[in-house]
Chain A
């Protein structure tokens, strides 16, 4: 067993060794020089992630990292360099590489590209060339083109149109990737973890599309630089702010509006962006609620808001710092008309990230980060003279260092370390009856340290074989202060165990190898293989399928073991017509250990330690994903289809028999179309089809005190009707006839969600009727009758949004 005290020191030593190796390697590469620099957008000065820098003579290249940095070390020679990025005019440079050269590129729009929209963030054939398996980039412009519920652009919902990524259903921002649970997805906003990605129980995303620059999702083949979750990574990058000029943009929608202000505090040196959004559901309903029913809803309100802010300062060519943050809240106030009962329930996420980019050399880039993030709620209720506060929170402070080292063209080495300090606050309640105060027991805060170190290399073995090999080592310590009362079955307390601050209670650690390989068949096709093993030390255990604010994140403890996941994937990637058409077929198998569910008889309670209600098991899933994308031209879009099975096996559930997971979805189809008619008009349409979600319904009932109560059948035995929906949108871009001093852009977007008004199943429930005790024997309506009913959520919903920018 590794000793706790020496582990951070050992990790630091590993990082130092790697650093020394990079320097040694640099000195050893004779007659090779480095071409490096930053690729930015000319109009705003934003760094461009995944811009392609391609060396024609060597048929190799590199892509920029999330800060727009690239590095290519090559033998001294003259080279043609091609730089490409979505929607921007490609550039070509001729470089005489006889010394280390810094080449910063600013890429601008072109007249040609405005009429021929290129919807791809990849360099030509990137899907075939790279070792990336299960990786997708989505630029925000792409997400904005997709019709959205009530006009609210939702990056997370847009990702769910890709094969292998399934939404948890209407009105739910959770998602499942290749059979993994919703807590198995690492969602990052500027490297800060976002625990709850939905406003209003998941109806709307927490990500303001005006503040987001880019979203990268790994649904498989997660590289070693990411860890802590076992199914996927969704890495959302905020914009940095316009370095060239001030601009204001925003939108006015049916239920919310947004405003973004960005600009240079000092041109090309320091910029800031502040973006806010607020819904006005409460303002719309305020005059209506008093007239509903007996007016009992008057005084109730709900609204959400969020703010994104970022400032970045380019200290020098080698150093740059960024500070960014997100603050979002849902605020719910309920008051019954009589004033007997009141309820205030704010919840939301907070993130703050401080980053420092440093260039040690043209080959070695460092990103150092200090991050804080939290999610929680703080509810206050009052009933007559009893007041009660209930809160729950998960908080995290993180320090990270990520090194990018490009020793030679065809090699991209990444290594680094990460430390997280977690504080978990379960349901903590306290209250008073006016005279006496009371509080919850066994709801102590839990503290944990999580440390990891990783190294990976993405390199060309031969002309046809490229590999990405990585290893991540992780360590988790559950520490005091912590006190737990252990109860016997009869409710009496057996023992109380206490741990001092910092005292180690339980340690887990593990190695997480990552491997992906690309075998190039020919210029336009390749076969890829991916194998990854991941560990996850914190868990979300929910008693519902929707993202409720009361969902609880818990750490691994003596009772709760880390989740583990092994993913194997094989894929064939083929492009046609000069990369205009991209296709792929991927098959996968995923095995999961130490999965957590609430026990069959568990009832959410604030008086019991939640982990006492858990039961543990394993899961496995397998499937095939088919993808066809038209990436260029006036008409673009894709078709994604997944055929998959997702199983769970829990000794304490379903009598130990395997059962299909709630989110098992046999067939999942998405068809996305976008067409630019001309410079004024754009249209888009989306069709989705998914096999029905599974649910557990009763199969019999019994009487107790004259009332029926259900006996449930096998877990998730019933499959609801399939879900399918057509959305479309029309956008009119307003172009002033005369050029004005103020460069004002606006468009009007009209969209229809669920165009043919299908009543898709939201959930199925049992509607009991009558009561045999009060029935009349001659009354045909007497007795117990159960009917199964299906609740649906959204009918056809048109919306209109006005977007502007100046």
Chain B
């Protein structure tokens, strides 16, 4: 459904703007000073330990590159996660270069954090806060503190100050991992365009939506050994159109951000690929964050700027709980 609406909007914009003819030029603007904030990118998933990335917001014309990326990470914060059943853990700051992980595992972690194609030895300062025995998790699949369904988790951070390190910032948040409802099945269908039928196919997700409101979803897809990517058209859904229904909807393929949009390939998967779908139920606050994040169209004649909703107190970003199920399917050759 979102794809239809996204395509619709895109079609109107394409015809409306490019046909009429617009030209653009770069302009210089004076940006007023704004205070920098603590940015939280925290996730806790069922059967996975919490991972929290702390960064600072950047002034608008900052150029972030590999040489200064590490300066945007917040080091030395006290980060604690407490479950509503009383279990608690103090997260430790771990920097990738200190973990001595194999390159492929480093790459997985980096891609999970959103950085692809980066050699961690070139970026000394990419650090995350997670459980002390994270390596145990990678080796055995378990560790001292893992997310559970139907559990709320509080996040408590004492961060060094942004403007001056001596002034600490106290940041808090809560999230909830709901029940992992999952989908019923995946199915492959032919590409509607015969010209692409040999090389690509559509993937359908068959779902049964609970008959009570309040269920929210986020999905990503992974192609072979690539990272998980969100669909360009948006990764989150609410249930208001589909409550109580059982239906099959076409999945949009996740892609690296800023990929070019192509009607013929975007919602299809290459034949021969092994596709993994990460299907996560989320709470309403997590949905609000990703929904506003993905739908900020900026201030133009066709849209208004969207202030991204956050569930972080005294900061921005998200503390997100995911109830995830994974589904794998091989897209058969023709």
**Complex interface residues of chain A between 652 and 682 (CB less than 8 A to chain B):** none
Contact A602 B306 (CB under 8 A): yes
Q: Is B328 an interface residue (CB 8 A)?
A: no
The docked-state distance in angstroms from the alpha carbon of A461 to that of B118 is: 85
Tell me how far the C-beta of A436 lies from the nearest C-beta in chain B, rounded to whole angstroms: 4
B contact residues around A783 at 8 Å (CB):
63-66, 69
The docked-state distance in angstroms from the alpha carbon of A458 to that of B325 is: 75
Q: Is B29 an interface residue (CB 8 A)?
A: yes
* Residue from B22, B56, B288 within 8 A of A792 (CB atoms): B22
B contact residues around A491 at 8 Å (CB):
213-216, 238-239, 284, 287
Contact B118 A773 (CB under 8 A): yes
Q: Is A643 an interface residue (CB 8 A)?
A: no
Contact A784 B63 (CB under 8 A): yes
Among A543, A602, A603, A792, which residue has the most Cβ atoms of chain B within 10 A?
A603
Residues A777 and B263 in contact in the complex (CB < 8 Å), given A384-B192, A704-B293 = no
* Residue from B29, B213, B230, B247 within 8 A of A493 (CB atoms): B213
The docked-state distance in angstroms from the alpha carbon of A421 to that of B301 is: 32
**Complex interface residues of chain A between 776 and 806 (CB less than 8 A to chain B):** 776-777, 782-793, 795
The docked-state distance in angstroms from the alpha carbon of A73 to that of B172 is: 79
Contact A762 B26 (CB under 8 A): no
Chain A residue with the shortest CB-CB distance to B190: A384
Q: Is A772 an interface residue (CB 8 A)?
A: yes
**Complex interface residues of chain B between 98 and 126 (CB less than 8 A to chain A):** 110, 113-118, 122
Q: Is A345 an interface residue (CB 8 A)?
A: yes
Q: Is A490 an interface residue (CB 8 A)?
A: yes
Q: Is B160 an interface residue (CB 8 A)?
A: no
* Residue from B26, B58, B287, B306 within 8 A of A701 (CB atoms): B58
Contact B117 A773 (CB under 8 A): yes
Residue-wise, chain A 757-783 has the 8 Å CB interface mask toward B (1 for contact) of 001001111111001111111000011
The docked-state distance in angstroms from the alpha carbon of A438 to that of B247 is: 9
B contact residues around A708 at 8 Å (CB):
64
Q: Is B3 an interface residue (CB 8 A)?
A: yes
Tell me how far the C-beta of A122 lies from the nearest C-beta in chain B, rounded to whole angstroms: 36
Contact A379 B8 (CB under 8 A): yes
A contact residues around B225 at 8 Å (CB):
none
Residue-wise, chain B 79-110 has the 8 Å CB interface mask toward A (1 for contact) of 00000000000000000000000000000001
Residue-wise, chain A 429-450 has the 8 Å CB interface mask toward B (1 for contact) of 1010111101111100000000
Tell me how far the C-beta of B15 lies from the nearest C-beta in chain A, rounded to whole angstroms: 6
Contact A786 B61 (CB under 8 A): yes
Interface size for B (C-beta < 8 A) is 106
The docked-state distance in angstroms from the alpha carbon of A429 to that of B5 is: 11
Contact A697 B299 (CB under 8 A): yes
Chain B residue with the shortest CB-CB distance to A382: B4
B contact residues around A790 at 8 Å (CB):
24-27
Q: Is A487 an interface residue (CB 8 A)?
A: yes
The docked-state distance in angstroms from the alpha carbon of A383 to that of B249 is: 10
Contact B242 A702 (CB under 8 A): no
Chain A residue with the shortest CB-CB distance to B293: A709
* Residue from A431, A489, A608 within 8 A of B1 (CB atoms): A431
Contact A782 B66 (CB under 8 A): yes
**Complex interface residues of chain B between 5 and 40 (CB less than 8 A to chain A):** 5, 7-8, 11-12, 14-16, 19-29, 31-32, 34, 36-37, 39
Interface stretch, picked from A82-90, A241-249, A472-480, A544-552, is: A544-552
A contact residues around B23 at 8 Å (CB):
759, 791-792, 795
Contact B250 A788 (CB under 8 A): no
A contact residues around B305 at 8 Å (CB):
696, 698, 710, 712
Contact A300 B15 (CB under 8 A): yes
Contact A704 B66 (CB under 8 A): no
Contact A607 B298 (CB under 8 A): no
Contact B298 A765 (CB under 8 A): yes
The docked-state distance in angstroms from the alpha carbon of A700 to that of B245 is: 42
The docked-state distance in angstroms from the alpha carbon of A388 to that of B15 is: 21
Contact A490 B283 (CB under 8 A): yes
* Residue from A340, A548, A608, A791 within 8 A of B240 (CB atoms): A608
The docked-state distance in angstroms from the alpha carbon of A729 to that of B54 is: 61
Chain A residue with the shortest CB-CB distance to B298: A765
Chain B residue with the shortest CB-CB distance to A440: B241
B contact residues around A762 at 8 Å (CB):
22, 301
Q: Is A717 an interface residue (CB 8 A)?
A: yes
The docked-state distance in angstroms from the alpha carbon of A300 to that of B195 is: 20
Q: Is A718 an interface residue (CB 8 A)?
A: yes
Q: Is A268 an interface residue (CB 8 A)?
A: no
Q: Is B212 an interface residue (CB 8 A)?
A: yes
Q: Is B156 an interface residue (CB 8 A)?
A: no
Interface stretch, picked from A124-132, A330-338, A531-539, is: A330-338
Tell me how far the C-beta of B44 lies from the nearest C-beta in chain A, rounded to whole angstroms: 16
Residues A601 and B263 in contact in the complex (CB < 8 Å), given A491-B213, A773-B117 = no
Contact B301 A695 (CB under 8 A): no
Contact A340 B267 (CB under 8 A): yes
B contact residues around A765 at 8 Å (CB):
298-300
Chain B residue with the shortest CB-CB distance to A335: B11
Among A696, A775, A789, which residue has the most Cβ atoms of chain B within 10 A?
A775
Residue-wise, chain B 49-75 has the 8 Å CB interface mask toward A (1 for contact) of 000000111111111111101001000
Residues A705 and B116 in contact in the complex (CB < 8 Å), given A339-B192, A340-B193, A493-B214 = no
The docked-state distance in angstroms from the alpha carbon of A172 to that of B1 is: 29
A contact residues around B288 at 8 Å (CB):
601
Residue-wise, chain B 188-204 has the 8 Å CB interface mask toward A (1 for contact) of 01001101100000100
B contact residues around A442 at 8 Å (CB):
240
* Residue from A296, A388, A487, A710 within 8 A of B4 (CB atoms): A388
* Residue from B193, B230, B242 within 8 A of A438 (CB atoms): B242
B contact residues around A608 at 8 Å (CB):
240
* Residue from B41, B240, B287 within 8 A of A704 (CB atoms): B41
The docked-state distance in angstroms from the alpha carbon of A390 to that of B8 is: 11
The docked-state distance in angstroms from the alpha carbon of A391 to that of B144 is: 53
Residues A705 and B250 in contact in the complex (CB < 8 Å), given A763-B300, A772-B66 = no
A contact residues around B59 at 8 Å (CB):
699-700
Tell me how far the C-beta of B304 lies from the nearest C-beta in chain A, rounded to whole angstroms: 5
Residue-wise, chain A 187-216 has the 8 Å CB interface mask toward B (1 for contact) of 000000000000011010000000000000
Contact B249 A433 (CB under 8 A): yes
Residues A383 and B250 in contact in the complex (CB < 8 Å), given A285-B19, A704-B114, A766-B298 = yes
* Residue from B22, B32, B293 within 8 A of A793 (CB atoms): B22
The docked-state distance in angstroms from the alpha carbon of A172 to that of B195 is: 41
The docked-state distance in angstroms from the alpha carbon of A221 to that of B20 is: 39
7 shortest A-B CB distances, which residue pairs? Answer: A706-B114, A783-B65, A338-B193, A492-B214, A705-B114, A336-B263, A607-B240
List 8 contacting pairs A-B, 8 Å CB cutoff, sorted by A. Answer: A433-B249, A598-B304, A607-B241, A702-B316, A706-B116, A709-B296, A765-B300, A777-B66
Since A601-B308, A709-B308 are in contact, a sample of 10 more A-B pairs with Cβ atoms closer than 8 Å, ordered by chain A residue number, is A302-B15, A386-B1, A429-B241, A440-B240, A602-B306, A702-B316, A772-B64, A773-B116, A777-B65, A783-B66
